[in-house]
Amino acid sequence: MIIFKSQREIEQMHEAGKLLASCHKEIAKIIKPGINTLEIDKFVEEYLAKRHATPEQKGYQGYPYATCASVNDEICHGFPNNKPLKSGDIVTVDLVVNLHGALADSAWTHPVGTISDEANHLIKIAEQSMYKGIEQAQAGNRLGDIGYAIQTFVEAENLSVVRDFTGHGIGRNMHEDPAVLNYGKPGKGLKLKEGMVITIEPMVNVGLYQCKIDKNGWTARTIDGKLSAQYEHTIAITSNGPLILTDQELV
């Protein structure tokens, strides 16, 4: 069931999104060789607590941390840990902010120190693919238009799109209908309407798109050990087109 949002609810989610966007900008500043992802996780919890917000992921279906921190071949749901990041790594930090009951969800892949040309190409294309999807998030378009735009853009660059994880509706719950696939056919799937709020969050791999899950039951990593990156924004479908609620340019 799709839960449509009023303008006021979208405004409240936008406030959560602005806080999340500013938190991502701070994370970008502290990521350096030597820092570990548990320190980033602690930073996020404190940053949100000071601003009367909470990390919605913590405790969600038993997930133990405020953030997901997925390094190199980890696709998503990486557990923060005390291993120092090193120059050449890439790390995706994913977090969901709850501000007075309104949620916003955004993930960002950061380079650590100096990264390879391969890693640089991957993160640039993954980020651009998200914006290709966002361009299609227009009332009257269909979910397949989003997936098709992402998939064709990524595959033209000889990279692959993960199938096992998707974007989603979001509101007072982190995961609402519909599932927003990062692949698909134009003109197919659910029609987008004003008042829907969804995430667009392609996971892009250098090699094969398949993944395997670690023994912790959460962390997905590439089956071939090659790099993976992810960018995610929360988007409201409005009469003026897609509104990026987690835009870092505005904060």
Q: Are residues 222 and 211 in contact, defined by beta-carbon separation less than 8 angstroms?
A: yes
- Report the distance separating Cα 96 and Cα 199, nearest Å: 11
176 binds ligand MF3 (CB under 6 A): no
* Binding track over 89-108 against Co ion, x by CB under 5 A: ----------------x---
Contact partners, residue 135, CB within 8 Å, separation at least 6: 149, 242
Q: Which is nearer to Co ion, 56 or 105 (CB)?
A: 105
201 binds ligand MF3 (CB under 6 A): yes
- Give how far Cα 154 sits from Cα of 42, 141, 146, Å: 33, 20, 13
Residues 31-70 that bind ligand MF3 (CB under 6 A): 57, 60-61, 63, 68
* Binding track over 98-127 against ligand MF3, x by CB under 6 A: -------x----------------------
**CA end-to-end distance (rounded Å), the chain:** 33
Angular region, 241: left φ>0, alpha ψ -120 to 50, beta rest: left
DSSP secondary structure code for residue 232 in this structure: B
Residues 227-246 that bind ligand MF3 (CB under 6 A): 232
The neighbouring-strand residues paired with 242 are: 237
74 binds ligand MF3 (CB under 6 A): no
Among 73, 94, 145, 176, binds ligand MF3 (CB under 6 A): 94
Q: Are residues 93 and 69 in contact, defined by beta-carbon separation less than 8 angstroms?
A: yes
6 binds, among ligand MF3, Co ion, none (CB under 5 to 8 A by kind): none
List residues near Co ion by CB under 5 A.
Answer: 105, 199
List residues near ligand MF3 by CB under 6 A.
Answer: 57, 60-61, 63, 68, 77, 94, 96, 105, 168, 199, 201, 232
